Amino acid sequence: MIRPGHPELCSIKVFCGDCNCGCPELFLDPKADQARRIVLADDFGQRVQMSVEQLGALVREAKAGELDHLLAPPGRCGGAG
């Protein structure tokens, strides 16, 4: 699916999507070089680009629980917020 806000990108996943406030979204940029093919756009208009391999490493680490501490209550570098 190609999104109107990013016509050059193919949408892979919208995170949330239950509102009209703008949600983070994962895209594939088929025209980008390999090192920048994956695009994560946030609801503030910022973008992070990475390779498919970098996304794979991020997903593996998340599945292994290596990012779970980010979901902890806010605190000194331990939780979100």
The model's pLDDT over 47-65, given as tens digits with 9 standing for 90+, comes to: 999 999 999 999 999 999 9
Is 76 part of a structural domain of the chain?
no
In the numeric block, the tokens 């629980």 are attached to 65
- For residues 56 and 76, give the distance between their C-alpha atoms in angstroms, rounded to a whole number: 28
Q: Is 5 exposed, middle or buried (0-12, 13-18, 19+ CB in 10 A)?
A: exposed
Q: How many structural domains comprise the chain?
A: 1
Predicted confidence at residue 2, as pLDDT, reads 47
Residue ranges making up the domain that contains 14: 2-66
45 pLDDT band (50/70/90 cuts)?
Answer: confident
pLDDT at 3: 53
Distance CA 50, CA 31 (A): 13
Q: Is 15 within the bounds of a domain? A: yes
Two tokens at 78? 């331990």
Q: Which two tokens stand for residue 52?
A: 């498919």
Examine residue 47 and state whether it is found in any structural domain, yes or no: yes
